[in-house]
Structure 1
Amino acid sequence: MSALFWRTFGGLGPACYFRHFFFGLMFPVLMYFGNKDNLYPPGWQAYAYSVVSTLLYPYSRFVYEAVAGFVFGRNVFFVNGGVLLFAKFVTMLACWVFAVFVAPVGLLYLYVRTDAD
């Protein structure tokens, strides 16, 4: 079981994981401050989903970057900085919201790739 865990979750690399994890923390913080003074705060399910999504976000982002790299290749796009930041925020939000569904694909790939090494 330990080998399965490390081959799957350890395949991303600590620097990459913590970088994406740091940016993934932005959404639960926004959720907390957005609902802090709410008369009807979200239930424990929303907070549990937030924790799971934050932990799986780096793997979801890994899948997104792999797909985007395949689609766009090594092309460079020149766009307005505001547009770029908005697009990055939207893709980060989508990766965080759907991390529960997308991250297993990345975990499976990391398991297979690490197994082959």
Structure 2
Amino acid sequence: MNPIIQKTLGGLSKEYYVRQFLFGLIFPAILYFISSQGTADGMPASLILLCIVNAFLYPYSRFVYESVVGYILGDTVLFGSIFVVAITKYITMSICWAAAIFIAPVGLVYLYFYHTKQDTNKQSQSDA
């Protein structure tokens, strides 16, 4: 496999990617349900294409969000009502999904440089 693709698209663990991908399927389902109400045509082809692209890029977008929040909060634990936490989680997920086409490239670039650095460190340790 091409090393660039391996370091970027293959940069997340399979478990993390599948989990986030499945959560990301909530939004195309909601859009499909909303668009099928009251119209005979359903979703336009451009919206279907955007849903497909965003669904596949959502895990990388979520990775960027979680990395930034993790960096800012560190090991801080926040407490709140389950309702507020659920609404906040839904809002952040929907923003990450809707903007995945713009946010995910940041994550892909980060993963490329991170895995390149890891490969360089492994190679320098094996040479020593």
Hey, what does 1:6 align to over in structure 2?
A: 6
Q: TM-score, normalised by structure 2?
A: 0.87
Hey, what does 1:21 align to over in structure 2?
A: 21
2:20–2:58 Cα contact (<8 Å) kept: yes
Show the 5 A alignment for 1:74-113: 74-113=75-114
2:60–2:108 Cα contact (<8 Å) kept: yes
CA displacement, residues 7-38 of structure 1 (integer Å, 9 cap, x when unaligned) = 11111110000010010000001111111233
Hey, what does 2:54 align to over in structure 1?
A: 53
- Kindly name which structure, 1 or 2, has the bigger radius of gyration based on alpha carbons: 2
| Structure 1: gaps of 5 or more residues | none
Hey, what does 1:37 align to over in structure 2?
A: 37
Distance (Å, rounded) in 2 between the aligned partners of 1:38 and 1:30: 15
Hey, what does 1:70 align to over in structure 2?
A: 71
Counterpart of 1:24 in structure 2: which amino acid? G
Counterpart of 2:8 in structure 1: which amino acid? T
Same amino acid, percent of matched pairs: 40
Q: TM-score, normalised by structure 1?
A: 0.95
Structure 1 stretch displaced more, 45-54 or 32-41: 32-41
CA displacement, residues 30-53 of structure 1 (integer Å, 9 cap, x when unaligned) = 111111233264321111001100
